[in-house]
Structure 1
Amino acid sequence: MTEATALTRAGRLAEATALIQRTLAGDHPVRVVQGEIVVDEERLRDDPPPVQDAPDGLDDLVGTPDQVRRSGPSTPDLPGETLHRVHQGATGARPYTLYVPTTGTGPRPLLVMLHGGTQTAADFAAATRMSEQAEEHGFLVAYPEQVTSANPMRYWNWFEPADQRRGVGEPAILAGIVDEIAALHEVDRDRVYVAGFSAGGAMAAVLGAAYPDVFAAVGVHSGLPQGCATDVGSAVSAMSSAPGARPLERPVPVIAFHGDADTTVAVGNAAHVVEQFTGCPVSGDTLVERDPGRPATRVVVRRDGAPVGELWTVHGSSHAWSGGAAGGSYTDPAGPDASAEMVRFFADHPRRS
């Protein structure tokens, strides 16, 4: 780790990443053996892989120690069914957790939730309390999990060219998880959504851009627009400078949350996400007061009079899921409830051909 830190400070980020990957490869249930992915499903279920500690000197990538909580709230007991599965597709395999609520009838909506770096699926479910929203509103919610063989810090590789396009890499794996769930459960394919936090938010943007025929709308919390980076170095630059990105060829409804005290990912990225996905400028605002709690500014973006995007700036919040569970991984309980607001937004935006 000392050598990796020295490489990072010298600006040799690719070498530092490779060294960390070799050092932290460790023992995990999804691995590559002679070019083939091998999944130990029984051990994955009984012994989930641990979260890796953040190496010294990489706080700008993974957050400060007080933000990364190794223990936190557990997901409350809910009446629905929690399933643990591993999806194996042509481009790779990933474990995921699926919550199936007792509410709702017929084909139900599906929400895919993508965790941030250093988090697990269980961390993210507990932090966002999205399974509680699923039980209340009657939709399925899936939590795919990144594996340390793909990224030692559990980042979704949103910045890699091979993981930014349709039909390849992690986007294809995650879209395959949607197809797998739809084959096993009654899913309303016009109401499939994806949301994520930090690296997961950036990957949610990748999925929305690559699969507009699959995902009806996207939620990006503390993330970045699709296509703003092509490697680790440009990812770090985008996180700090918010360079923006080109509008999508096919607009997709989007809701973005970001804290204006975020020192990990610049708050300007959120506006660029909304502009990229809606093709419309972000203008106007409404102050949402919370007493007690953090105020936020909400901008509703409209096209031909219809709302197609929302930008929420949470004042005083850092790199954390707004309104998340107290003590959770990367959460700010004082902020507006991002989970509830995303569910509301998604409910108003089924996929339209």
Structure 2
Amino acid sequence: MGQSRPPFRCTRSRRLRGGIRRWVTAAAGALALTGGLIAASPQASAAGLTQVTGFGTNPGNLSMFTYAPDALPADAPLVVALHGCAQSASDYYARSGWPKFADTYGFALVLPQTNSANNANSCFNWFEPGDSVRGQGESLSIKQMVDKAVSLYGSDNRRVHITGLSAGGAMTANMLAAYPDVFAGGAIASGPPARCANSVAAAYTCMYSPPDRSPAQWGDLVRSAAPAGTTSWPRVAIWQGTADTTVKPANATELRDQWTNVLGLGQTPSRTESLGGGTTRSVYDDASGRPSVEVYSVSGMGHGLAVDPGNGPEQCGSTGAYYLDTVCSSYHTARFWGLDDDGSTGSLPAPGLTVTGTTDTTVSLSRKAVDGAASYVVNRGGTKVGTTTSTSYTDTGLATGTTYTCTAAASDTAGAAGVVSSPATATTTGFTPTCHTDSTYDHAVAGRAYQSGGHAYAKGSGQAMGLWNTFTTRTLKQAAPAHYVIADSSCPA
């Protein structure tokens, strides 16, 4: 390979596996094993990140970085975020949007980082049994980081969650299977099902053509990886772009089958909702009506993490290689996990909340009465927008053609808010068209188009834009949310 091998602190067998990984990666034309993320990233040194050493025996040879907001209270949640191939802790910290919600909702972050000594493209080794099963390798290193962070920040060990992109998403799925006693919830972005692969060859099969197993077969893989007698399982969010050619969309279907089976649910969603950025959310409730699995399908999005740069309460992150401008996945994931709730709820149950109408600037809501409620708090995007004693409420001053997510909670006479309702999503009417002139490559990076087979296509309309490169320039008009049409001669740039 023309390169000297870095020193290993591991056994001879681990060194041999490292050599095999390098050979396969080179033979695949530098396509990263499990993610296709090949852009270079800086090492973790971003302001706000702190490197933590001495967190355990660290058999996986990983680095630990953390972020905690100022004045973080005791018993706050903890989120573990795993980067993709050739990325780093600082890259994920800077672009994923998670620090914003750590500040907003009050929780600590752990960002593990792997390296080229473990894997030629700095992928987490989700396909290696010695790194992805309970009590071994990288999985044990991540578990030791959780223990260290809980000790450092006084985190609530009942509210620990894990998420990751691509290879980090694959490792997330395996961590949820191996440590259901550690994680209350997980989110898998552009990754395959848990225990899908136990070798390099199987990893490629999972990425490009995942096995079509039954829900019970997928569920058995999780149950066999967990401690014997496990009865409590994490809640799982699944994020997938429909135009992903690296980790094919069929993986999201198999993931849904796997985790709905583990949680004892059917594969028919309790409800389906449309979000901004061409995203459809399918919700699978448990017997009590609590969302336990959510699948987010992002129309036209390729391989990467969904972000939505901006200062709005539902926006986050920044675009870049494999950070795609569609919708803020970190926001929706945090709310699915309940991180917007400080845990100090009263005893009142959740009111039923429905959307009764929209205009270009308002959303009208209706709620069911709760016995013992003195008033009702209405939230938009996790932020309180009003209090009412009426059965209806109208949220005003909204932007046209924009999707909003609202919840409500009943408050008792002491002012303690009870359980938050399931989200009610609505899109205001009206839309102001905008025009964008750029290369077909940059249109795709910005989320206005997607690529397939080396050609670019307008998001929403699917119109062919020509070759996907930095030289072909087209003008797109956004005619509706997440819907673009070619307008080279009929739309000013």
TM-score range, shorter chain: 0.7 to 0.9
Q: Give 1:302's aligned residue.
A: 285
Residues 32, 149 of structure 1: 8 Å contact kept: no
**How far does residue 228 in structure 1 lie from its aligned partner after superposition?**
0.7
| Moved beyond 6 Å, runs of 4+ | 74-77
Whole-Å separation in 2 of the counterparts to 1:323 and 1:296: 12
Whole-Å separation in 1 of the counterparts to 2:185 and 2:4: 35
Cα RMSD after superposing both structures: 2.8
Change (3 A) 1:90 1:337: closer
Change (3 A) 1:180 1:120: same
What letter is aligned with 1:332?
L
Residues 68, 330 of structure 1: 8 Å contact kept: no
Change (3 A) 1:57 1:255: same
**How far does residue 157 in structure 1 lie from its aligned partner after superposition?**
0.8
Change (3 A) 1:227 1:331: same
Whole-Å separation in 2 of the counterparts to 1:155 and 1:228: 16
Which of 57, 80, 105 is the aligned partner of 1:112? 80
Residues 283, 299 of structure 1: 8 Å contact kept: no
What letter is aligned with 2:206?
A
Q: Give 2:268's aligned residue.
A: 283
Which of 131, 135, 138 is the aligned partner of 1:167? 135
Matches for 1:83-232 after TM superposition, within 5 Å: 83-86=50-53, 87-89=55-57, 91-102=59-70, 104-232=72-200
Aligned-partner SS, 2:145: helix
Q: Give 2:360's aligned residue.
A: none
Whole-Å separation in 2 of the counterparts to 1:320 and 1:187: 29
Whole-Å separation in 2 of the counterparts to 1:271 and 1:33: 37
Q: Give 1:330's aligned residue.
A: 322
**How far does residue 287 in structure 1 lie from its aligned partner after superposition?**
4.3
Q: Give 1:312's aligned residue.
A: 296
Cα offsets for 1:135-154 (capped at 9, x unmatched): 11100011100121111211
Change (3 A) 1:129 1:200: same
Q: Give 2:49's aligned residue.
A: 82
Residues 271, 282 of structure 1: 8 Å contact kept: no
Residues 62, 113 of structure 2: 8 Å contact kept: yes
What letter is aligned with 2:298?
V
**How far does residue 63 in structure 1 lie from its aligned partner after superposition?**
6.2
Cα offsets for 1:300-332 (capped at 9, x unmatched): 012213321100000000001001544424111
Gaps of 5+ in 1: 2-21, 38-53
> Which stretch of the first structure deviates more once superposed, 247-256 or 213-222?
247-256
> Which stretch of the first structure deviates more once superposed, 182-191 or 267-276?
267-276
Of all paired residues, the percent bearing the same amino acid is 30
Aligned-partner SS, 1:93: coil
Gaps of 5+ in 2: 15-24, 224-230, 309-316, 344-493
Whole-Å separation in 2 of the counterparts to 1:295 and 1:347: 23
What letter is aligned with 1:308?
S
Q: Give 2:29's aligned residue.
A: 57
Whole-Å separation in 1 of the counterparts to 2:205 and 2:166: 15
Structure (1/2) with the larger helix percentage: 1
Q: Give 1:256's aligned residue.
A: 238
Whole-Å separation in 2 of the counterparts to 1:63 and 1:276: 21
Q: Give 1:346's aligned residue.
A: 337
Whole-Å separation in 2 of the counterparts to 1:69 and 1:195: 21
Cα offsets for 1:105-158 (capped at 9, x unmatched): 221110000011111111111120211110111000111001211112111111
Aligned-partner SS, 2:295: strand
**How far does residue 23 in structure 1 lie from its aligned partner after superposition?**
3.7
Whole-Å separation in 2 of the counterparts to 1:295 and 1:99: 31
Q: Which has the larger radius of gyration?
A: 2
Residues 297, 313 of structure 1: 8 Å contact kept: yes
How many residue pairs end up in the alignment? 300
Aligned-partner SS, 1:162: helix
Greater RCO, CA 8 A, separation 6+: 1
Change (3 A) 1:101 1:115: same
Residues 252, 277 of structure 1: 8 Å contact kept: no
Cα offsets for 1:137-181 (capped at 9, x unmatched): 100011100121111211111111212311111111100100111
**How far does residue 62 in structure 1 lie from its aligned partner after superposition?**
6.5
